[in-house]
Amino acid sequence: MAETRGRWAPGSVAIALVMVLAAWSSVELGHSSLGRGEAVTERGISPSLTGTIRPEASRAPAALSVSVGSQPFGAAFDSSTDELFVANSNSSNLSVVADATETVVATVPLPGAAMPLDVAYDPARHEVFVTDSAQNSVSVISDRTDTVVSTVPVGTAPMGLAYDPSRHEVFVANSGTDNVSVVCDGSASCGGAVRANEVVATVSVGSTPSWLTYDSSKHEMFVTNEISDDVSVISDRTDVVVSTVDVGQDPEGLAYDTANHEVVVADRGSDSVSVISGTTNTVSATVPVGLGPYAVAYDPHKPYVFVTSVVSNTVSVLAVHGPELRAPTTISVPGGPAGLVYDPSKSYLYVTSLLANSVTVIWKYTPTLITTVPVGEGPISAAYANGEVFVGNSVSNTVSVISASTNLVVATVPVGVVPEGVAADPAAHEVFVANFNSNNVSVIDTVSNSVIKSIDVGSHPYGVGVDTGTHQVFVANTVSGNVSVISEATDRVVATVTLATGWLDDVVYDPSQHELFVSDYSERYVIVISDATDTMVTTIPIGINSAIGLAYDPSLDEVFTANPGPPGYVSVLSAKTDTNVSSVTVGGFPWAVAFDTSLREAFVANSGSDNMSVVSDSSNKVVANVATGETPEGVAYDPTLDEIFVCNYDSDVVSVFVAATII
C-alpha cells in the first residue's frame, strides 16, 4: 500500500512511536511483515521503517558490545566523566556506560512513563539533557550524581536536542508542534541562574522537526523537518529562522563537519545523504547510502562521516576529501542500528541497536602490524622522506633505506660510528644522521642514497631536528652540552648554542613558535631555544623521570616527551606557554615518539615492555597498546601511506604498522 505522509495529531506521538518500536521488536531477522513502502502507521515523528530490516550480510558482530536498557535510541558522550549516556526509549531510563571499562556503571530512572529519545551533554554545567517524547518535557541529569535535577516542559512530542556552547542553550525539536524550544542552562549568556532550565524562546520551523546539529562557525542550529522535507537554519543570536534548505525525503539525523563547514543530513526516504554547504546553506551534493538512513556522526580525526541504516542493518562510512564525500564502504551491524555517538576520548564510535538492546563499538583506531623488515644490527631511530624510511643501525654503523611502498630494504648506506638520531628534510632530499662516537653528522642524498657530506659537530651527538622552512639542522651534543646549528645551504656549522646543562638527547623544531625543544636526560627537563637568537629561552620540568624522545604536534602546537622509568609516561608540553600541561602513563621505559598528523595521535615506543602506546592528542589518553618487536627504541611516521615504522633494537627488525584499522 502507498505510505501516508500525514502529520501527527497532537498527543499521538508517543503511541505511534510505541507501535513502530513494537513492530521492530516483533521482526525476526531476515523476516518482516512490513514491505517496502508499508508503514505501521502514519509517517511522521516516529523512527518508522521504509522497508524490511535485513539480517547482517557479511561481517561478524563488532568485538565490543554492551547490554543496556530496552530499545536504546539516542546517546551522548560526557567528556568530563568519560561516560556514555544512552536513552532507552522503552524502559524509561538512561544507561551510563564507562568508556574505560565498557560496562554499565549506573542506570538513571526518569519520572513517570517516560519515553527518552535523544541526549545532549552540557559541559559548562556538567549536566545531561534528555527529551521525553511521552511527557512533552526535557529531563536534566547531573553527571556528578546520575540523578534527575530538573524537568523542563517544552512543546509536544520532543525528539532531538542539541547543545549550543556559544550561548549555553539547549535547542529542542518539538515534532508535534512544529517548533523548537530554546532552554537556558543557567549561564549568564542566556539569562543567568534565575532562568536556569527554563524555555527562553520558541522558534517556529517546518513540519515535524526531528533532529538538530550546531554549526559553531556561523553560530547556527540546523533542524531537520521530516514531513516538509527540508532543514530549518536558526541563528542562535536572534532565535530566528534565517534559511530553509530543501533536502531529500524524510530527513532525520544530521551532523556538522567542522573541517569543511558542511552539514550532512540523512534522508531516510531517499536512502541517501544530503550535504549542505554551511557557507551558502544550499545542498552541494547527494550521496547514496544504505536503506533507511537515520543517524549521522562526524569524526574529525580521519575524517569520516558515519550513517546508520536501520533497514539494511549497516553503517555507511564516507571518507571526507575536501568538500566531497567519497562513495561509502559499509559495516554490518545487526539489530536495527539507530543512534550514533563519537567518543573523542578514545576515538571510538558507538551505535545503539534497537532490537539488540545494546550499544556497540563499531569503529576504533588501532594500529595493525602488516610486516617486519630485517635491517642492520641495533636499529635505534628512523625518519621518513620521499617515499622511503631511513633507519639508523647503531651497532652495524649503517643506515637501512626501506621503500615505504614495498617494505623492502632498497639500500644500505655506511655512515659514521654509532649512528643515533636521524632526521629528514624531504624538500631538500637530504637525511641527517648523528654519529655518536665519531662526533659528526652524515648527510645522505635521498636520490642516490649515498653520503654526500660529513660535518663535524660537538662531542657525542645524539638527537637531530630540522627546520624545513629555513633549512637548518639542529644537533644535540650529549657530552659537550651544546647544540650545533648547521646550514643546509653550506653544510657547515653556523652557530653553537651553549647550555649549562647535563646529558642532551633528542631535538624537535616547532615552526609555529620558531623554537627548538631539546630533551635533557640528566636534568629531567626540556630546554626551549629561540631560533632567532640561538639562545635558551626557558626550561620545562617533566617530573620524576628523565626526558628522551620528542615529537611535535602541529594541530595543538604541543610537544610529546617520552619519560622512561617506572612508571613510564609521556609529558605533553604546550609550545605556546612553554609549560607541562599533561602527563600520560604509557608502557615500560618509553624511549621514542612519533606524531601521526592524520589521526592526531602520538605513537610511543616502549622499550621496556616491547609494545607501542597510542595517545590521542584530543584527550591525552592512551587509546591503544600494540605489541612490537624486542626493545623498540625508534619510531617514524609515513604521512603518505599513514603507516608507522618501529625500530626494534634487540631483534634487528623494523615493525611496520598501518596506523588505523576498524575492528
For 91-106, what is each residue's pLDDT tens digit?
A: 999 999 998 788 999 9
Q: What count of other Cβ atoms lies within 10 Å of the Cβ of residue 543?
A: 15
Report pLDDT for 17: 38
What percent of the chain stands above pLDDT 70? 87
Report pLDDT for 187: 86
Of 9-13, 229-233, 353-357, 380-384, minimum mean pLDDT range = 9-13
What are the residue ranges spanned by the domains of the chain? 1-53, 367-661
Report pLDDT for 321: 66
Angle at alpha carbon of residue 593, lines to 592 and 595, rounded to 5°? 160
For 544-577, what is each residue's pLDDT tens digit?
A: 899 999 999 998 999 999 999 888 999 999 999 9
Query: Where residue 4 falls among pLDDT bands split at 50, 70, 90?
Result: very low
Q: Which range, 32-41, 58-67, 171-180, 186-195, has the best average confidence (pLDDT)?
A: 171-180
Counting beta carbons within 10 angstroms of the beta carbon of residue 289, is it exposed (0 to 12), middle (13 to 18) or buried (19 or more)?
buried
Do residues 514 and 535 make contact, with C-beta atoms less than 8 angstroms apart? no
CATH number of 367-661: 2.130.10.10
Listed as own residue / partner, the contacts of 48-52 with beta carbons closer than 8 Å and 24 or more positions apart are: 48/20, 49/20, 49/23, 49/24, 49/292, 49/310, 49/311, 50/3, 50/250, 50/268, 50/269, 50/271, 50/291, 50/292, 50/311, 51/291, 51/292, 51/311, 52/27, 52/311
The better pLDDT of the pair 382, 42 is held by 382
Report pLDDT for 259: 81
Query: Where residue 345 falls among pLDDT bands split at 50, 70, 90?
Result: low
Say how far apart CA 428 and CA 490 lie, in whole Å: 13
Do residues 218 and 187 make contact, with C-beta atoms less than 8 angstroms apart? no
Residue 62: which of 329, 289, 315, 370 has the closest Cα?
315
Residues in the chain: 663
Q: Mean pLDDT, the chain, as a whole number?
A: 87
Query: What one-letter code names the amino acid at 519?
Result: S
